Chains A and B, each alone.
Chain A
């Protein structure tokens, strides 16, 4: 007898519907899975058999063939366990085919017959929207994020089989138990998804912990408000990582569509989601410089996994010791930085991952770390220049802001903790972002150059300041647009009007020192 059960697998961050066809026939007892299964799917043979037996169901002593259609596409993940098990039961006549009509299944089986959640349930549920969906209870919250899906949940395979016999009852049970995370035999979970908008998170580090660093603080605030990429240059111990870790706390809560996108990516990557199921806070990713290109960009041999740049989508990607990252990894960042997404192409297929984040780079000024003002460091000029060249020009150009961070002086460390807390700054940032949004452009960092004349006109005094920098060579013609965008953000932060004043431009110039910030000082 034959059964066809709808399910889904992940391709990138999206789900794709697949049909699990099970054929049970006379012949030598055996179990074959065909249709480009990956290792996890092939192993599901043993899990499914054990789970059926543990659940008190019988295993057909006949020839069982499972085909995953469409058969041209590689299928991965343990989420096909449940549909295979149900298919075997239907094909061997244990379950009446009519009872699984219009149902789709996703879930991993334990040897004891329990049901486990699988990564990326949001995307899978989205792909199976037109079916009534059976998922493990632990994936219920996530599945619900896909929107209006009709869910049936259970914690065991036996629960699914029992539920199929009494579907109306099961549905009511699933729905009536709060967010619906319960099969007939499952305890009510009672998770509320209505608690959006809470900002308080005791684990987010606060800006008030940072002593001194007025220029760097300002840089963080402007970066948060305008979505500008930020480069921090300073000796070891000057607090570069400390500053970077405080940037997510200045960003506003994610909008609902972005939050869904971010949740989807994190879910696909198998990362832990917050108790509400939805990631509302901007993520913060700080990969070590040993990261491989695939881990950074995305891809992988079995299925396409999102890389760090996509896990940082909507939030902050912090690259400490940027000069230590392999050059291919850094150069691979350039295109995603420009487009806000990354297209990963492999022989088996192509996946597009969103990747719009604020890049924060941190670097020592030179190999010995002491560099900066001339006379302080002892590196040879050649090694300093070689160090500076590790960031290619095009990558360096992506940074709108570059500031020097110095070690705080001792009386600053001992003095009273000064400076505003993250919540005060975040409020200003949120206001500035609203102003920018009113102009119809997402963030100021993305203001197109032709629009600058209209959206960021400069007063006469401001033009004079810019002219001076242009003439002295401190500012290139190309840098001019960046200064305008930065000044626009500064003006938004201060609640100023449409015209950029001299003070705004000056701050922008302070935040964007020339490119030689990294290279050697002035030699002869």
Chain B
């Protein structure tokens, strides 16, 4: 039908076949255009499908209808070598044979790109660092790539979205589910914001639900899209490991944000640092890593100088103003360490009564120095 490119329709239809995986899809499209591959599979004549695994499904599928469905959903079907497909992925060994995009896929080209990833169970420290770092990087025109998961990913995207502006780097997300399956539900608004100002990529066909194995595969695309990968917080052998390994295979530098050696959410990142990854403290450190990476890859960037940290008052946190802290408040503040601290621990460290410790915690929260969680306190 009019408007639907048969190549794109066939590519989308092939991706959506039952039991299709990125590797099988790459084998089917190796050296063949999607239309040719479709016809070859349909006539049981495809060298990449010697056992005709997909032939019945292809014969039962109306490729044109699939193409129309993508068009209706506003999802672009990107093919290597054709306009819209990210140039940086073109030479990648694990590049997706078909990539779907919601938003403007061209935003990833021509800008420095940094992946900010980490655990789904972060500390407030990790969330703040991810959000600030992402906002600062976007502020100097860097494209921040992440996975739209909850935790560090979400904080990074939220930071970019908050720092949006005409010169700012647009947000880029790579998700594991189909683009009509907005997962996780908590990030639905964030997803919409990323898609409207940047782009959300997926290599999964429409309707693909969240499954455990799609997320590690998605992480390779995040790594492949980026000049530098920054891990903000990661548990020992957490999901970020896949991104780090994918980056290492592509010689993409991996940086890690140092954390407390007592924080379990920093086990993975501190191990990366021990193993020789560069530590990064803020956006300036990340930019230094980006320059080095681009220079060694023969794609140098114009220097932008040190990144000026944005005004933190934008984050909705009142700066500490007014009177100095009372001795009790001071000792309570000292008793709260970098990881969230329970009232019980504060009591042990300060030897205060329950009432005065609780009062001091509330007062410190009112002054923006502490944040209360469900039964614990953390520093702002």
List A residues at the B interface (Cβ < 8 Å): 212-216, 218, 233, 370, 372-381, 403-406, 409, 412, 465, 468, 472, 474, 502-503, 506-507, 509-510, 513-514, 516-517, 519, 521-524
Closest 3 CB pairs of A and B: A524-B154, A375-B265, A373-B340
Report the minimal beta-carbon distance from B68 to chain A, rounded to whole angstroms.
Answer: 34
List 5 interface pairs A-B (beta carbons < 8 Å), by A numbering.
A376-B121, A474-B372, A502-B359, A517-B374, A522-B124
Interface flags, B340-362, vs A, CB<8A=1, else 0: 11111101100000110011001
Q: Does B192 contact A (CB under 8 A)?
A: no
Q: Is the pair B348, A412 in contact by a Cβ cutoff of 8 Å?
A: yes
Q: Does B196 contact A (CB under 8 A)?
A: no
User: Which residue from chain B places its CB closest to the CB of A213 in the assembled complex?
Assistant: B344
Q: Does B165 contact A (CB under 8 A)?
A: no
Q: Is the pair A375, B342 in contact by a Cβ cutoff of 8 Å?
A: no
User: Which residue from chain B places its CB closest to the CB of A384 in the assembled complex?
Assistant: B121
Q: Does B127 contact A (CB under 8 A)?
A: yes
List B residues at the A interface (Cβ < 8 Å): 119-127, 150-151, 153-155, 158, 184, 186-187, 190, 233, 235, 238, 263-266, 339-345, 347-348, 354-355, 358-359, 362, 366, 372-376, 378
Most central of A216, A374, A403, A507 by chain B CB within 10 Å: A374
A residues less than 8 Å from B345 (CB atoms): 406, 409
Q: Is the pair A374, B358 in contact by a Cβ cutoff of 8 Å?
A: no
Tell me which of A507, A513, A524 contacts B375 (CB under 8 A). Answer: A513
**Cα-based distance from A214 to B344 in the complex (angstroms):** 7
Tell me which of B184, B265, B358 contacts A510 (CB under 8 A). Answer: B358
A residues less than 8 Å from B151 (CB atoms): 523-524
Q: Is the pair A465, B374 in contact by a Cβ cutoff of 8 Å?
A: no
Report the minimal beta-carbon distance from B101 to chain A, rounded to whole angstroms.
Answer: 23
Q: Is the pair B265, A506 in contact by a Cβ cutoff of 8 Å?
A: no
Report the minimal beta-carbon distance from B18 to chain A, rounded to whole angstroms.
Answer: 25
Most central of B266, B345, B348 by chain A CB within 10 Å: B348
User: Which residue from chain A places its CB closest to the CB of B259 in the assembled complex?
Assistant: A375
**Cα-based distance from A145 to B378 in the complex (angstroms):** 58
Tell me which of A378, A403, A503, A513 contacts B235 (CB under 8 A). Answer: A378
CB within 8 Å for A375 and B126 given contacts A218-B354, A404-B342, A513-B375 = yes
**Cα-based distance from A162 to B210 in the complex (angstroms):** 84
User: Which residue from chain B places its CB closest to the CB of A405 in the assembled complex?
Assistant: B344
Tell me which of B123, B186, B374 contacts A513 (CB under 8 A). Answer: B374
Known: A372-B342, A375-B263, A381-B121. 19 other contacts (CB 8 A): A218-B354, A370-B264, A374-B124, A374-B373, A375-B122, A375-B339, A375-B340, A376-B264, A404-B342, A406-B342, A412-B348, A468-B362, A502-B359, A506-B355, A507-B354, A507-B358, A516-B374, A524-B154, A524-B158
Q: Is the pair A374, B359 in contact by a Cβ cutoff of 8 Å?
A: no
In the complex, how many residue pairs between chain A and chain B have their CB atoms under 8 Å apart? 124
CB within 8 Å for A406 and B120 given contacts A506-B358, A524-B151 = no
Report the minimal beta-carbon distance from B236 to chain A, rounded to whole angstroms.
Answer: 8
User: Which residue from chain A places its CB closest to the CB of B123 in the assembled complex?
Assistant: A375
Q: Is the pair B263, A510 in contact by a Cβ cutoff of 8 Å?
A: no
Tell me which of B120, B124, B127, B265 contacts A380 (CB under 8 A). Answer: B120
B residues less than 8 Å from A509 (CB atoms): 358
B residues less than 8 Å from A379 (CB atoms): 121
Tell me which of B263, B342, B359, B373 contacts A522 (CB under 8 A). Answer: B373
Q: Is the pair B127, A524 in contact by a Cβ cutoff of 8 Å?
A: yes
B residues less than 8 Å from A522 (CB atoms): 124, 127, 373
Report the minimal beta-carbon distance from B212 to chain A, rounded to whole angstroms.
Answer: 10
CB within 8 Å for A503 and B355 given contacts A474-B372, A524-B151 = yes
Report the minimal beta-carbon distance from A308 to chain B, rounded to whole angstroms.
Answer: 29
**Cα-based distance from A380 to B355 in the complex (angstroms):** 35
Q: Is the pair A377, B121 in contact by a Cβ cutoff of 8 Å?
A: yes
CB within 8 Å for A523 and B150 given contacts A374-B123, A517-B374 = yes
**Cα-based distance from A503 to B359 in the complex (angstroms):** 8
Q: Is the pair A524, B190 in contact by a Cβ cutoff of 8 Å?
A: yes
B residues less than 8 Å from A519 (CB atoms): 374
CB within 8 Å for A521 and B264 given contacts A215-B343, A404-B344, A503-B355 = no
Q: Is the pair A524, B348 in contact by a Cβ cutoff of 8 Å?
A: no
Report the minimal beta-carbon distance from B202 to chain A, rounded to whole angstroms.
Answer: 19
Most central of B263, B366, B376 by chain A CB within 10 Å: B376
Q: Is the pair A378, B344 in contact by a Cβ cutoff of 8 Å?
A: no
Q: Is the pair B187, A524 in contact by a Cβ cutoff of 8 Å?
A: yes
Q: Is the pair B354, A215 in contact by a Cβ cutoff of 8 Å?
A: yes
CB within 8 Å for A510 and B374 given contacts A215-B354, A524-B187 = no
User: Which residue from chain B places its CB closest to the CB of A490 in the assembled complex?
Assistant: B355
Q: Is the pair A376, B265 in contact by a Cβ cutoff of 8 Å?
A: yes
CB within 8 Å for A215 and B344 given contacts A516-B374, A524-B151, A524-B158 = yes
Report the minimal beta-carbon distance from B363 to chain A, rounded to whole angstroms.
Answer: 10
A residues less than 8 Å from B372 (CB atoms): 472, 474
Q: Is the pair B374, A215 in contact by a Cβ cutoff of 8 Å?
A: no
**Cα-based distance from A510 to B376 in the complex (angstroms):** 11
Q: Is the pair B154, A523 in contact by a Cβ cutoff of 8 Å?
A: yes
B residues less than 8 Å from A506 (CB atoms): 354-355, 358-359, 362
B residues less than 8 Å from A510 (CB atoms): 343, 354, 358
**Cα-based distance from A209 to B376 in the complex (angstroms):** 26
**Cα-based distance from A214 to B347 in the complex (angstroms):** 8
B residues less than 8 Å from A513 (CB atoms): 374-375
User: Which residue from chain B places its CB closest to the CB of A518 in the assembled complex?
Assistant: B374
B residues less than 8 Å from A502 (CB atoms): 359
Q: Is the pair A373, B123 in contact by a Cβ cutoff of 8 Å?
A: yes
Report the minimal beta-carbon distance from B138 to chain A, rounded to whole angstroms.
Answer: 17
A residues less than 8 Å from B263 (CB atoms): 375
B residues less than 8 Å from A380 (CB atoms): 120
B residues less than 8 Å from A412 (CB atoms): 348
Tell me which of A405, A521, A524 contacts B374 (CB under 8 A). Answer: A521
Report the minimal beta-carbon distance from B125 to chain A, rounded to whole angstroms.
Answer: 8
Report the minimal beta-carbon distance from B218 to chain A, rounded to whole angstroms.
Answer: 16
User: Which residue from chain A places its CB closest to the CB of B210 in the assembled complex?
Assistant: A382
B residues less than 8 Å from A403 (CB atoms): 375
Q: Is the pair A406, B344 in contact by a Cβ cutoff of 8 Å?
A: yes
A residues less than 8 Å from B120 (CB atoms): 380-381, 523
**Cα-based distance from A521 to B126 in the complex (angstroms):** 14
Q: Is the pair A212, B354 in contact by a Cβ cutoff of 8 Å?
A: no
Report the minimal beta-carbon distance from A248 to chain B, rounded to whole angstroms.
Answer: 23
**Cα-based distance from A409 to B373 in the complex (angstroms):** 21
User: Which residue from chain A places its CB closest to the CB of B158 in the assembled complex?
Assistant: A524
A residues less than 8 Å from B125 (CB atoms): 375
Q: Is the pair A514, B354 in contact by a Cβ cutoff of 8 Å?
A: no
User: Which residue from chain B places its CB closest to the CB of A515 in the assembled complex?
Assistant: B374
Q: Is the pair B122, A374 in contact by a Cβ cutoff of 8 Å?
A: yes
B residues less than 8 Å from A406 (CB atoms): 342, 344-345
Q: Is the pair A524, B358 in contact by a Cβ cutoff of 8 Å?
A: no
**Cα-based distance from A502 to B359 in the complex (angstroms):** 9
Q: Is the pair B354, A214 in contact by a Cβ cutoff of 8 Å?
A: yes
